[in-house]
Amino acid sequence: EAGVAQSPRYKIIEKRQSVAFWCNPISGHATLYWYQQILGQGPKLLIQFQNNGVVDDSQLPKDRFSAERLKGVDSTLKIQPAKLEDSAVYLCASSPTGYGQPQHFGDGTRLSIL
């Protein structure tokens, strides 16, 4: 089974620039998650999709972050404008529908803000 695909693996931008990350979940997984992992911390959920609808975006900084999953498969996460504190690894995960289903993670995108 192919895993969760993410791109790019690394991105370096200057503050106030914009950036976008892409995620392709495991085939058939209806639920997709974006996490932010700051150095020295555990991953923190930013947004969760069920098919193409948002289930939870309570911790997404909506003034600068946006995410979409238009066709219920691939997803993009955008930051505009970026701040220094956005430097982190952005992880995408997917899971089948159902209570307690384990999440499968991609390799992540490491974002550095200069």
Partner 1 sequence: AQSVSQHNHHVILSEAASLELGCNYSYGGTVNLFWYVQYPGQHLQLLLKYFSGDPLVKGIKGFEAEFIKSKFSFNLRKPSVQWSDTAEYFCAVSGGATNKLIFGTGTLLAVQP
- In the complex, which residues of this chain contact partner 1 (CB under 8 A)? 3-4, 31, 33, 40-45, 48, 55-56, 91, 93, 95, 99-108
Q: Which is nearer to partner 1, 17 or 101 (CB)?
A: 101
Q: How far is the CB of 98 from partner 1 (least distance, A)?
A: 8
Q: Which is nearer to partner 1, 40 or 63 (CB)?
A: 40
Using an 8 Å Cβ cutoff, are 53 and 111 in contact? Answer: no
Q: Which is nearer to partner 1, 82 or 90 (CB)?
A: 90
Q: Which is nearer to partner 1, 32 or 113 (CB)?
A: 32
Helices marked H in 4-92 — which ranges?
A: none
Using an 8 Å Cβ cutoff, are 2 and 26 in contact? Answer: yes
Partners of residue 111 on adjacent β-strands: 11, 88
Q: How far is the CB of 81 from partner 1 (least distance, A)?
A: 27
Q: How far is the CB of 41 from partner 1 (least distance, A)?
A: 6
Dihedral (CA of 22, 28, 31, 37) sign: negative
Q: What is the DSSP letter of 59?
A: T
